[in-house]
Amino acid sequence: MARITFYTKIGCLTSQKQLALLQEAGHQVLLQDLLAHPWTAEELRSYFGGLPVQDWFNPNATRIKSGEIDPEAYAADEALAVMLQDHLLIRRPLMESGNSRRCGFDPAVIHDWVGLARHGDAFVFRGDLSSCSNPGAVASACP
């Protein structure tokens, strides 16, 4: 199984579900605090691969939900700059295994990447693993 470095907002309910799914599949997961990590633009960019810039943003971030930030209005360099100032804007989780990095948790993509089932068992999708599990939370508590 894979060894995965998993950057997220510590305590996020959705991330806890994602983490549990990876661990149930037998992966060794090293949990890291996305908000406390000293990101550089180059390092952060390496997680986004070929995703469109708007998909680099956390759609559940308060500043995005309020309309203050419009992810479609940013070029790559501008998006990285605003994310380096406010890590809550970064789509999570950011994951690394071997020489490969990923952003977000699309179960089908993650299953194809590292597998989400043990010993050849079929992977069964368990619902939404990308949206905030606590949408009524106070802004400082979650996104």
Residues catalogued as catalytic: 12
- Report d(CA 57, CA 101) in Å as an integer: 16
Contact 92, 15 (CB under 8 A): yes
Q: Amino acid letter at 70?
A: D
